[in-house]
Amino acid sequence: MKLIFLGTSAGRPTPERNVMSVALRFPEERNRFWLFDAGEGTQHRLLGTKLKLSKLDRIFITHMHGDHLYGLPGLLTSRTFHDGAGKLRVYGPKGLADYLGTVLRVSEAHLNYELEVSEIEPGDTLDLDDRFSVETAELDHRIPCIGYRITERPRPGALDLAALARLGVPPGPLYGKLKRGEDVALDDGSTILSSEVVGPPSDGRIVTILGDTSPCDNAVKLARNADVLVHEATFGAGMEEKALDYGHSTITQAAGIARRAKAKRLIVTHISARYGEEEVAAMVAEARKEFPELEAARDYLEVGVTP
């Protein structure tokens, strides 16, 4: 599981940073991926990665500000030209269906795949499949904004290969059944119990991706014990009053949320265009006094998610 940052700037792009979007890639599942926000130019940023629109099956929008949304219609229509693109599900706040419906209707766009748009209420939990659930909560921004907590269900334990060989289980489909918790019968009539050859399950990974927000209790709740927290850091330390006025956070405030939530790692993004890369580096160095496991995202940064 890997995060790929496609856009990391706040409000408007810079020569180095596009506006907001981050992909969550599942290489173990034939490289399918999810997208969180789609600012203008997101599909152009995708061209610089190995991500293919035919492998995109879910999009999550945090809120209706343009730097998180204006790239979505173009991305949806371009997906039509990718062979093998199946059903696409898009989730987001109230107004998303009207926005997309209007743009696609007025532009007379024709999609050759099924598009399902779901407007969700903060607090909803999405049980998406047998591997992941997504919890949501309302953040503290100028307009309604949703934060997402992606939780992987517990993963099966490792196969004990030595025990399998000792018990005479041939490599192949039986291994898969045992790993899934199924007991199997061998040709000699003996039964192999899954519990005999599979170790204890391991905790699933947790990724929290927040939209624009001032520091709030729901940010802490969504980030509790996360393996990776993605939090905005529009402003540098000392600009807390301005950040509050605009419904944003400083990098030090983001570090404080990660510390309170006991997150393992913090990646800050949505960085104001006023800051050059040297200034960002200085901001990070200062904020690490609050939370050492902090890194500033940059476009095309890839972050592995490990428990």
Sequence-separated (6 or more) residues with CB below 8 Å from residue 81: none
CB of 162 closer than 8 Å to CB of 170: no
The answer to whether 231 is annotated as binding is no
The answer to whether 63 is annotated as binding is yes
The answer to whether 67 is annotated as binding is yes
**C-alpha distances out from residue 54 to 51, 91, 199, 224, Å:** 9, 18, 36, 33
The answer to whether 44 is annotated as binding is no
* Tokens found for residue 100: 């997309």
The answer to whether 65 is annotated as binding is yes
The answer to whether 160 is annotated as binding is no
Task: Quote the CA–CA distance of 14 and 8 in Å, as a whole number.
Answer: 10
Task: Quote the CA–CA distance of 194 and 108 in Å, as a whole number.
Answer: 55
The answer to whether 68 is annotated as binding is yes
- Give the active site residues: 67
**Burial class for 6, CB neighbours closer than 10 Å (0-12, 13-18, 19+):** buried
Indicate the annotated binding residues: 63, 65, 67-68, 141, 212, 270
Indicate the annotated binding residues for Zn(2+): 63, 65, 67-68, 141, 212, 270
